[in-house]
Amino acid sequence: MNTDHESCEEKHESQPETEYSTIKSIKLMKCTIRDPNQQVLVLENGVLKAVPDKGTTTPETFYISTSQLSTTSIKKENHIFLAVSKGELCLHCDTVKDPEHPSLQLKKKNIKELNSLNSKESLPFTFLKEQIGSYFTLESAANHGYFIYTSNIPRQPVGVTKDLGKEKNTQFEFENISVNLSVVQDGVYKLTMAKPCMTMEL
């Protein structure tokens, strides 16, 4: 009987690498996010909310990485993943069809694993970051026309909407926590189809 280690080695040797198997220079940025009303995003009991920044508020730290998903019309660097809770809970928006309304969820998935997914699997985790003046919008790649928003009423959950207007804020500022902490991971990931054999070289 093979040990787990021996079995894993056999799978590693027998499985060829795929187009998703080698991802180089995965970089994660750490930042906080605020809306034009000076509300910052926080995580309360597993729910992402926007609360007024009163100086004593501790904003949630967001981990952001570039998605490998690309289209012919949108630059790859504008496709991003976002995560909270030390990168362990990823923002996710399931693909739906009208008249259904998509919802913003937090999925238990490490952000560093998302680029190992295929395009269909990674699409709900992907958001399009577009600059408007000094602010940015975050559009769901799985549901075009739906943007992450915060309510003008404090302490409301963050969601997605296609109704753009004054009552719903869809523009945000990204503030780096520290230059020294802006890159927390810079390495080469070697992934094979046998998931237990994933290795990381720094």
Q: Which helix (H) or strand (E) holds 129?
A: strand 127-132
Question: Can you give the pLDDT at residue 28?
Answer: 87
User: From CA 182, how far away is CA 27, in angstroms rounded?
Assistant: 9
Q: Where do the H-state alpha helices sit in the chain?
A: 4-14, 119-122
Query: In order of start, what are the domains of the chain with their CATH numbers?
Result: 1-25+187-202 (no CATH), 26-186 (2.80.10.50)
Question: How many other C-beta atoms are found inside a 10 Å radius of the C-beta of residue 192?
Answer: 21
Closest CA to 158 of 122, 101, 105: 105
Confirm whether pTM is higher than 0.85: no
Question: Can you give the pLDDT at residue 77?
Answer: 62
Mean pLDDT of successive 10-residue stretches along the chain, which has 202 residues: 39 37 63 96 97 92 86 64 97 90 96 93 95 95 96 96 88 76 34 27 25
